[in-house]
Copies of this chain bind each other. A is one copy, B any other.
Amino acid sequence: MPRFDPPDVLLLGPGPSPVPRRILDALARPTIGHLDPRFVGMMDELKELLRFAFQTGNALTLPVSAPGSAGMETAFVNLIEPGDTVVVCRNGVFGARMRENVVRAGATAVMVEDAFGTAIDLDKVEAALRANPGAKALAFVHAETSTGVQSDAAALCRLAREHGALAIVDAVTSLGGIPVLADAWGADAIYSGSQKCLSAPPGLSPVTFSARAVEVITSRKTPVQSWFLDLGLVMGYWQGSGARAYHHTAPINMLYALHEALLGLQEEGLEAAFARHRDNHLRLRDGLAAIGLDLLVAEAARLPQLNAVKVPDGVDEAGVRRRLLNDFSIEIGAGLGELAGKIWRIGLMGAGSTPGNVDRVVGALAECLGRKAA
C-alpha cells in the first residue's frame, strides 16, 4: 500500500478551512511528553490565548481533546443532570444535535423552532423560558454552520440570565470570524472547533465556562456520565500550579497547531480578522450577484464566514460541486438536512477568507454554470 498524498484542495466548504503552512509545520514539531514541564508551560499559554479568542477571564478555558461535537457534549454532560429542563433553539442541524445531547443526559428538551435559514426569534425564546420556570439552561447556536445564519447571542444570553438559566452557546463556526464575547454576553458555556475560523486542523474543541457554570459543575448531585469529558477530572490536568494530575494523554501535536493558530490570530488582531471576514463576504456576495446567484439568508442575519447560496432551478447541485472539486480543486459544501440539494455552502473561514479565494470560487462557479458576470 503506498503512502497517502492528499491532493492540494482549496477548502471553501463549511470546514475544515485551509490550514496555513506555518500551522502544519507546528503540527510536525517533535512530540514531547504530556507531563513535561515545558509542555505544561505551553498549555498555560494556550489557555491564555483561548481566553483572548473568547474575550474572557474565565479560569476554566481549555481545548477539549476531540472535535467540536465532543465540545458540545462536554457542555451538556457537565452542566445538565437527569430531570433538568433545557430550552433548546433549533434553526438548523446543530440545534437538533443539541437536543440529542440533552435527551441523552436524561433531561427534557423544550424546543424553540425557527425555519432553517432564519435567525432565532427572541420572542419565542422568551415565551419558552416564561413557560418553563426553573429551566436549567438555554442552549442555542450562535453561527449555524448548516444554514449560514447568525443569531443574537448577546440578547439570548441576557434572556437566559433574566430567567435564571445557564446560557450554553455553540460557537463552532463563529470563534475568530465574528465577535464571540463570553464575558460581555455573560455566557456560561461556549464551545468551538479548531478547524473553522481558527485555521487549525480538525480535532480539538476550545471551550470556556463561567464561574457560575463551574459552581454548577462542582455541586452536581450525580456523576458526569462521561469519564473522558468529566471536567472535574479534566481540570486536574489543565489547571492548578505545579504538577498536573494525569487524566488522559493530551493530543500533543494538535495542541502545538492550535497554539500556533492562536498566535496568528493574536498577531492579526481580532478586529482586523473580523473586518477581513466581513470584507471578503461582501466581495463574495457581489461576485455571486453578478452571475445571478442569491444568498439564502436575509442580510441582517448573514454569517460572513459561511455563505448559503441558493442552487438555481434546473442546476445539478452535486454535479457542480463535483466539477469544482475535480476540475478546479475547490471544495464547497452541500446543504444539510432539509436544505440538502437546495443550497451550496461557501465557507470563507480563517486563512481561507481572502479576496483571491473569493475571485477563484466565483470564477469557477461562473464556468460551471456557463454564466458571465453581468
Say whether B18 contacts A31, CB under 8 Å.
yes
Task: Select A251's contact among B1, B254, B331, beta carbons within 8 Å.
Answer: B254
Contact A30 B19 (CB under 8 A): yes
A49 with B11, Cβ < 8 A, contacts A65-B203, A203-B65 known: no
Q: Return chain B residues, CB-CB under 8 Å to A66.
A: 65-66, 70, 228
Determine if A124 is an interface residue (Cβ-Cβ < 8 Å): no
For the complex formed, measure the closest distance between the CB of A96 and the CB atoms of chain B, giving whole angstroms.
Answer: 11
Docked Cα-Cα span, A103 to B26, in Å, equals: 39
> Chain A contact residues: over half helix, strand or loop, or mixed?
loop
- Are the C-beta atoms of B28 and A27 separated by less than 8 Å? yes
Given A68-B249, A253-B27: A33 and B4 interface contact (C-beta under 8 Å): no
Instruction: State in angstroms the CA–CA spacing of A49 and B4 once bound together.
Output: 13
- Complex contact A33–B9 (CB within 8 A): yes
Q: Which residues of B contact A39 (CB under 8 A)?
A: 6
Rounded to whole Å, the gap between the CB of A255 and the closest CB of chain B is 9
Query: Interface digits, A18-43 against B, CB 8 Å rule (1 contact, 0 not)?
Result: 11000011111111111010110010
Number of chain A residues whose Cβ lies closer than 8 Å to a Cβ of chain B: 75
CA distance A256 to B195 in the complex (A): 16
* A193 touches B (CB below 8 Å): yes
Asked whether B33 lies within 8 Å of A11 as measured between CB atoms, the reply is yes
Which residue of the partner chain, among B4, B73, B253, B263, contacts A226 with CB atoms under 8 Å?
B73
**Assembly CA distance A45 to B259 (angstroms):** 31
From B1, B30, B31, give the contact of A263 (CB < 8 A): B1
Residue of B4, B48, B202, B253 touching A249 (CB-CB under 8 A): B202
Q: CB-CB contacts of A64-89 with B at 8 A, as 1s and 0s?
A: 01111110110000000000000000
A186 contacts chain B at the CB level, 8 A cutoff:
no
- Give every chain B residue within 8 A of A15 (Cβ-Cβ): 249
The one of B13, B65, B195, B224 in contact with A67, judged by C-beta atoms closer than 8 angstroms, is B65
Q: Is A97 on the interface with B (CB-CB < 8 A)?
A: yes
Contact of A101 with B by CB under 8 A? yes
Q: Taking the nearest CB of chain B, how far is it from the CB of A106, in angstroms?
A: 8
Task: For A28, give the chain B residue with the smallest CB separation.
Answer: B28
- A65 CA / B70 CA spacing, docked (Å): 10
CB of A6 within 8 A of CB of B263, answer: no
| A30 partner, pick from B24, B29, B34, B248, beta carbons under 8 A | B24
Query: Using an 8 Å CB-CB cutoff, how does the interface string of A40-67 with B read, 1 for contact, 0 for none?
Result: 0010010011000000000000000111
**8 extra interface residue pairs, beta carbon distance < 8 Å, beyond A3-B263, A69-B227, A202-B252:** A7-B38, A9-B32, A33-B331, A67-B248, A69-B228, A69-B248, A201-B251, A202-B253
* Residues of chain A having any CB pair with chain B under 8 Å: 1, 3-9, 11, 13, 15-16, 18-19, 24-34, 36, 38-39, 42, 45, 48-49, 65-70, 72-73, 97, 100-101, 103-105, 193, 195, 201-203, 223-228, 246-254, 256-257, 259-260, 263, 266, 325, 331, 336
What are 30 residue pairs bridging A and B, where the CB atoms are less than 8 Å apart in the complex? Answer: A1-B263, A1-B266, A3-B263, A4-B256, A6-B30, A6-B31, A6-B32, A6-B256, A7-B32, A7-B38, A16-B31, A16-B34, A25-B28, A27-B27, A28-B28, A66-B70, A67-B248, A68-B248, A68-B249, A69-B227, A69-B247, A70-B70, A100-B227, A104-B223, A104-B225, A201-B253, A202-B250, A202-B253, A251-B254, A253-B254
